[in-house]
């Protein structure tokens, strides 16, 4: 198992850089991972991160469609906040496992 030092915390991560233990996540850790992905987090990002963390904690699956219905951003906005592969990037920055979602 790999480890990574972000914001002074030794994080337990997968080979792809996803946190194995979501409870290790802090805002600073999120910002650190985002920086590695070339992103500067805004309030909107944090709002969405909170939504994602709550969903995952509640045992619900994540989909792009679901995020589009979150009331925080529409799908276009989601792609703008996390350009490229939004669901993967957003979950990685949120400190939750890589989503097993095809939609």
Partner 1 sequence: MENKNETPLKKVCIICAKGSIEDVYATLVMGNGAVMEGIETKLFFTFFGLDAITKKQMNKLHTATVGNPAMRMPGGLPFPSIMGMLPGVEAGVSAMMMKEMDKLDIPPVDEFLDMVTAGGGEIYACKLAMDMFKLEKEDLSEHVKDVLTIGDFYGMCGGENTQIIFT
Q: At what angle do helices 27-36 and 86-94 cross, to 10 degrees?
A: 140
CB of 62 to partner 1, least distance (A): 9
SS3 (DSSP) at 4: strand
Beta carbon of residue 12, minimum distance to partner 1 (angstroms, whole number): 21
H/E element, 15: none
37: its two tokens: 């992905």
Provide the binding-site residues for partner 1, judged by CB under 8 A.
61, 63-66, 68, 74-76, 79, 83-88, 102-103
Active site residues: 102
Nearer to partner 1, 15 or 43 (CB): 15
CA 34 from chain centre, in angstroms, equals 9
Output 45 or 89, the one with its CB closest to partner 1: 89
């Amino acid at each position: 198992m790999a480890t990574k030092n972000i914001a002074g915390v030794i994080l337990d991560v997968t080979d792809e850089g996803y946190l194995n233990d979501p409870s290790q996540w802090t805002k600073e850790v999120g910002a650190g991972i985002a920086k590695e992905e070339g992103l500067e987090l805004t309030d909107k990002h944090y709002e969405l991160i909170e939504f994602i963390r709550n969903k995952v904690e509640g045992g619900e699956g994540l989909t792009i469609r679901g995020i589009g219905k979150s009331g925080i951003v529409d799908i276009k906005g989601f792609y703008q906040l996390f350009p490229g592969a939004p669901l993967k990037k957003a979950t990685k920055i949120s400190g939750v496992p890589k989503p097993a979602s095809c939609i």
